Amino acid sequence: MILFPAIDLKDGQCVRLKLGEMDDATVFNDDPAAQARSFQDQGFEWLHIVDLNGAFAGKPVNAPAVDAILAALTIPAQLGGGIRDMATIEAWLEKGIKRVILGTIAVRNPDLVREACRAFPGRIAVGIDAKGGRVAVEGWAETSELTAIELASRFEDAGVAAIIYTDIERDGVLKGLNLPATAELARSTTIPVIASGGLASIEDVRALLKPEYAMLAGAITGRALYDGRIDPAEALALLKAA
């Protein structure tokens, strides 16, 4: 079980959104590289990065901030947001991103996901962001007719390294992870599933260790870390002891 600290980038700064709304952003650090170093120094073994502007623009926007983060880190990082073609996937992997996360394109062009998985084994993840049970795309601005389970099933044999499942209605508002829905998705696929959206306290970390959620590969934490609601040492010790 891996706990991923999140760095969400908007206009070059580390922010957290509420419910995915770009105009409801709280700035937590204007130096993303320093924030990344801090997470690494706290003992985290992976970093989760999202280019929020990129997710809306459909192309990378916060590349300088991501470059600075990569220069500051020795731990692996996964990146999502605005990655919509093979050239962009390849460019990020060459720069040192360990795993790219494909979201909108997984709905719009699933063949590209399969092609990327063949070209870069183990380095392609799919981001499934759901609102009311339906998959949202274009930086969560649009909702499709697909369910999360339907989308995951499209990639069952594609070689996807992980699925990051986000419950949009919990993201950034500290309601707690939607573990039942995440576990339901995980049971429907052989692809490792990472929970995202709403992790609020050390109790959420403890909940991840319950037998019924043992199939999950990890969880992403954002606002609770920045707000000091979770002590990194305590959370990491819990997971290590499990």
Which residues are part of the catalytic machinery?
A: 8, 129
β-strands 124-131, 99-102 pairing = parallel
Residue with tokens 């801090």: 38
Q: What are the φ and ψ backbone dihedral angles of 30, each rounded to 5 degrees?
A: -95, 10
- Four-residue CA torsion sign, 194, 204, 47, 147: positive
Question: Nearest CA to 80 among 175, 179, 161?
Answer: 161
What is the residue type of 181? A
DSSP assignment, residue 212? Answer: G
